[in-house]
């Protein structure tokens, strides 16, 4: 009996160790995703003539960044990516939630390359869709390729007609992209791991939950570039 108890205890300890190691690995992946998302924003904004226009930055309600969105195109294109999202609140930008982006082919991908994607919610409808657990771009929410550079008129027109503006960066080229049919949904498991409890997606994006230390750089990076212009006050 004592031998059996010892074996059971050893098995329990092993299971606990494996579970802790898996959780640590998940946390490391999330830390890397947050760091990569912040880097994508900094690199995109490093070239003002080819970056997101100021009128889009100042009018954004929410921002989604999906680093290294995977694409494979043979007969039928398939896409899948993991990213992070934050929304503007009355006291700055919210702590991030973790999201998935999935969809079919959007036409121009070749081989198995990966692309960085940025989605910007431009009005309250876009915000409400972000607060929902799942949204299909082009069906549940109007989306269009976002303008780049200093063309303020194009930026104004785009922000007036789309709930989401979408951008891609591949091989150094940053441009608007059509993501119609792509599904944006919450990654509840990663968000739960990040905050250690079943905290709702809405409460995080409303700013009710402070960012963890691993997310501070990402939130500060968004706040640095997505500032409200004086004209919006």
Q: Write out pLDDT tens, residues 80-137.
A: 789 999 999 999 999 999 999 987 554 444 445 678 999 999 998 888 888 887 888 9
Per-residue pLDDT at 60 exceeds 70: yes
What is the model's pLDDT at position 177?
A: 86
Distances (CA, A) of 210 to 58, 128, 154, 187: 22, 21, 35, 19
Instruction: State the pLDDT confidence band at 229, using cuts at 50, 70 and 90.
Output: low
CA distances from 2 to 11, 12, 15 (A): 14, 15, 20
Q: What is the pTM of this model?
A: 0.81
pLDDT of 68 > 50? The answer is yes
Assess whether pLDDT exceeds 60 at residue 19: no
pLDDT score recorded for residue 82: 92
- pLDDT for 104 equals 59
Q: Is 189 exposed, middle or buried (0-12, 13-18, 19+ CB in 10 A)?
A: exposed
Q: What pLDDT is stored for residue 195 in this prediction?
A: 92
Give the count of beta carbons closer than 10 Å to the beta carbon of residue 142: 17
Binned at pLDDT 50, 70 and 90, residue 15 comes out as: very low
d(CA 34, CA 65): 9
pLDDT at 205: 94
150-191: per-residue pLDDT in tens? 765 656 665 567 899 999 988 778 888 888 888 999 999 999
pLDDT tens, position by position, 39-58? 999 999 998 788 999 989 99
Instruction: Report the pLDDT value the prediction gives residue 110, as an integer from 0 to 100.
Output: 44
- pLDDT score recorded for residue 197: 81
**Confidence at residue 62, expressed as pLDDT on a 0 to 100 scale:** 95
**Looking at the predicted structure, is the pLDDT value of residue 75 above 50?**
no
The answer, yes or no, to whether residue 20 has pLDDT greater than 80, is no
Higher pLDDT, 71 or 179: 179
């Amino acid at each position: 009996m004592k031998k059996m108890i010892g074996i059971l205890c050893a098995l329990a300890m092993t299971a606990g160790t494996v579970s802790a190691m898996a959780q640590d690995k998940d946390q490391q992946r999330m830390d890397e995703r947050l760091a990569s998302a912040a880097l994508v924003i900094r690199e995109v904004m490093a070239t003002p003539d080819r970056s997101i226009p100021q009128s889009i930055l100042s009018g954004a309600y929410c921002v989604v960044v999906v680093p290294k969105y995977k694409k494979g195109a043979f007969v039928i294109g398939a896409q899948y990516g993991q990213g992070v999202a934050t929304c503007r609140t009355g006291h700055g930008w919210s702590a991030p939630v973790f999201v998935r982006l999935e969809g079919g082919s959007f036409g121009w991908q070749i081989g198995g390359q990966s692309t960085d994607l940025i989605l910007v919610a431009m009005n309250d409808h876009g915000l409400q869709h972000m607060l929902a657990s799942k949204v299909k771009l082009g069906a549940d929410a109007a989306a269009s390729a976002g303008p780049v550079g200093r063309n303020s008129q194009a930026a104004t027109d785009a922000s007036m007609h789309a709930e989401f503006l979408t951008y891609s960066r591949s091989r150094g080229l940053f441009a608007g992209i059509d993501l119609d049919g792509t599904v944006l949904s919450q990654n509840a498991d990663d968000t739960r791991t990040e905050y250690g409890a079943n905290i709702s997606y809405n409460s995080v994006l409303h700013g009710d939950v402070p960012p963890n230390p691993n997310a501070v750089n990402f939130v500060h990076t968004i706040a640095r570039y997505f500032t409200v212009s004086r004209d919006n006050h």
